[in-house]
Amino acid sequence: MSTNHQRTLVVVGNGMVGQRLVEALRQRDPQRRWRITVLAEEPRPAYDRVALTSYLTGTSAADLSVVPDGCYDDDCVLHLADPVDHLDRDARTVTTASGRVVAYDALVVATGSVPFVPPVPGADLDGCFVYRTIEDLDAIRDRAADTGSGVVVGGGLLGLEAANALLSLGVRTSVVEFAPRLMPAQVDQGGGEVLRRKIQELGLEARLATATERIEAADGGLRMVFADGSSLDTGLVVFSAGIRPRDELARSSGLEVGERGGIVVDDGCRTADPAIWAIGECALVRGRVYGLVAPGYDMAEVVADRLVGGDAVFAEADTSTKLKLLGVDVASFGDAHGATPDALEVVYADPVAGVYKKLVVTDDAAELLGGVLVGDASAYAALRTMVGRPLTDTPERLLMAGPATSDLGDDAQVCSCQNVTAGSIRGAIRDQGCADVAGIKACTRAGTVCGSCVPLIKTLLTQSGVVASTALCEHFDLSRAELFDVVRATELRTFSEIIAGHGRGRGCDICKPAIASILASLGAGHILDGEQATLQDTNDQFLANIQRDGTYSVVPRVPGGELTPEKLIVIGEVARDFGLYTKITGGQRIDLLGARVEQLPAIWRRLVDAGFESGHAYGKALRTVKSCVGSTWCRYGVQDSTSLAIMMELRYRGLRAPHKIKCGVSGCARECAEARGKDFGVIASENGWNLYVGGNGGFRPRHAELFASDLSTQELVRLVDRFMMFYVRTADRLQRTAAWIEALTDEHGDGLAYLRRVLVDDELGICADLDAALERHVGSYTDEWAAVLADEEKLGRFVSFVNAPDAPDPSIRFVTERGQIRPATPVSGDGPPVVAGPTLEVVR
């Protein structure tokens, strides 16, 4: 509640650091001695700029928000899209672009930074962008939709993030870096070389030690001309070559700024004006501007403490960094470049595997000073906590095996972004009852920014005696993957045998369908044979998707979306004769809705006779392999995407899996088949096929990540075979491929790298078995609906009423809309409904 004794704090800027200050002060000031006014330049509240690239892969702007509910009220006001234009230090007021004048008792400048755009002629041409805000990404995405190539100027952290974003948009991408290596501020020459090789394998071109001389318009796009006389044509250019502090407010009001920018502040983040502080990327502390969020958060905490009478100071910042760039783990911590006098460097390099590790230690090898990890950063979180501490093992053993997490003291920092120690996490587990990562995040904020500390949090949970159950359900202590291996090894082929030997009780709605799926994946007969029929959920029991009104959908397979006129006519005749609603699906098939259960055999008999087979729209199985017309018809196509899509759909049809599988094949980088939104996607290149894995739509959309480039058709099919079978064997129940790869990442440090070791390098020695398993599936495939039509016992299941098998369900009613039926909804006041049958008739 406001009081007459309130003082006014004005915060200029509502980025992640400015927002952190607001929350930190509210926590320290429950009496509301400070009234807070935040003046923001952007049109939306603070959002997670660290995760900005995810905005292009399905994360919404709302999902990125870091502003908690209830943060702003009468005593804490946020004004958006109204930046501060003028600071009057004598009057202690600020004036915004809209003319708003706000008086302050204390002012905190948190204006952050702007992208540095080199003074290159042509940098302001249409098609040139920076990479900083959501609006920037919207503009880049719009441009990328009309071009197949892009260039990122800058090969540092931000540059590689921008390159990853362009690749996620299906744009062929090059990186131009002035320095002789990528990420020059974080990694050394050895690490930079390994990183360059890894990302080039993923289809990204890196031009190092290259200076841009000018940019010019050319052929409807842009041409970059370099200092060495070479040039590169492209559709768009993104500048991501560093940042510059936003210190213009300080400059215009006479506050001291550094020679290269930044508002000069002391250890308490205070300027020479006692009423003004500066935090984040606009602040110059001890001669340094920090471009990471963690030091900015520390500054926010310091100022919040000072505002309530404390004496906190800004300590030496942790500039450790861990990122997954284009699927490659990269980390640096402490004195990564060995700048400490007499420091020693211990290096492990495996250029074949794409792994580079370096530890920097004191001259007596007794203390860890820093390190660089590329390709395998699984030990990063634990190693970072050891900087400045005595080594617990020899440097070479720490490089190879990593430190024991049990060696971490309570004061060891686990999460540098939120400054959370191992002791805080252990306390949350012990005193707050936190039993999983989500609980730890909610209680301590650890792991909520970059996420690099999550593996270490999981280890601390385990060491504290918290064990995450992987049991399938209460009837089985085994996980789905473990149960799959048991069934495969023992050749048990009925639920009764499996639960008797490896479970307990009678089973439930979780384990029965899961085991039914396992048995189907192993080719244990038709899903409606004997006992197996009782395990299925409603959709699989009737080989059709049940709809909201109790009717079912009929979806015949249309491989690759290719359909002859004769077959199209048959579908139209079936829809007409049975009065079905007809719609084109997003997977290039035709959906016939409104069929009663007793009509399904008659409908499918006509479709099977015409050469159609089940499209498995009802099953956790391969659904479609969507395609464009490719090089056969399209003037942009570089490969025959339609033929490949048809071949792959026929190869993987009927393959039962933990979840539905959707795929796509695009004939060029324009990506008309939306392959990167699929569980596996294939995009044609001039040299073959690029394979992407782990995408999906749905509740949490994800873009697939590049797995391999420029594959021949034979190489592509072999990798997809192995990917599919390994997923079928090891994924959890109802786990999409994206979540499966995320789980592999949590367990192995880099899910894609682990998959490459398993599926390409045959690290587990199972590739031959996976190949053979897929070939068995191909050789044993039979259409489920054709098998039902040939079996009178199975046909007997398709009735609404057992005692009146020919009677329709009277509760199923329709009305006509836009010339087709739809379910009648009483709440809408629908008029006389109609019932679907061989012809339409009104029910009076």
Q: Which residues are known binding-site members for siroheme? A: 672
Say if CB 97 and CB 85 are below 8 A apart: yes
C-alpha–C-alpha distance, residues 682 and 716, integer Å: 9
DSSP-derived 3-state class of residue 697: coil
- Cα–Cα distances (Å) from 99 to 13, 45, 84, 95, in that order, read 17, 21, 9, 6
HSE, side-chain direction, 13 A CA sphere, residue 471: 10
Q: How far is CA 830 from CA 579, 814, 819, 834, 837, in A?
A: 19, 9, 15, 11, 20
409: Cβ–Cβ under 8 A, 6 or more apart, which residues?
422, 423
CA atoms of 315 and 302, how far apart (whole Å): 9
Rounded Cα gap, residues 670 and 156, in angstroms: 27
**Residue that is written with structure tokens 């070791």 in the block:** 757
Nearest to residue 452, comparing CAs of 329, 327, 301? 329
Strand, helix or coil for residue 215: strand
Match 């391969």 to its residue by tokens: 622
Burial of 361 (0-12, 13-18, 19+ CB in 10 A): buried
Quick one: CA dihedral 629, 634, 638, 640, positive or negative? positive
Question: Is residue 490 within a helix (H) or strand (E), and if so which, with residue range?
Answer: helix 480-490
Structure token pair of residue 626 = 């969507």
CA neighbours within 13 Å on the CB side: how many for 765?
Answer: 0
Question: For 545-583, b where at least 16 C-beta lie within 10 A, e where not — what string?
Answer: bbeebebbbbbbbbbbbebeeebeebbeebbeebbbbbe
The Cα 261–Cα 245 span in angstroms is 6
Question: Among all chains, which residue has been given the structure tokens 């259409």?
Answer: 783
Extract the annotated binding site for [4Fe-4S] cluster.
Answer: 628, 634, 668, 672
Distances (CA, A) of 356 to 375, 551, 560: 6, 58, 42
Tell me the H-state helices in 207-287: 248-252
**Tell me, what DSSP letter sits at residue 245?**
E
Laid out side by side, the sheet with 7-12 consists of 76-79, 34-39, 7-12, 106-109, 276-278
Give the separation between CA 208 and CA 196, rounded to whole angstroms: 9
CB contact at 8 A, 328 and 160: no
- What is the number of residues in the chain? 844
Please give the DSSP secondary-structure letter assigned to residue 766: -
Calpha distance 779→768 (Å, rounded): 16
Q: Burial of 623 by CB count in 10 Å (0-12 exposed, 13-18 middle, 19+ buried)? A: buried
Between CA 410 and CA 776 the distance in angstroms is 54
- Alpha-carbon torsion (183, 160, 448, 132), positive or negative: positive
Burial class (CB in 10 A: 0-12, 13-18, 19+), 826: exposed
Asked whether 94 and 12 are in contact (CB, 8 A), the reply is yes
Phi, psi of 111 (to 5 degrees): -85, -5
What token pair was written down for 802?
């057992």
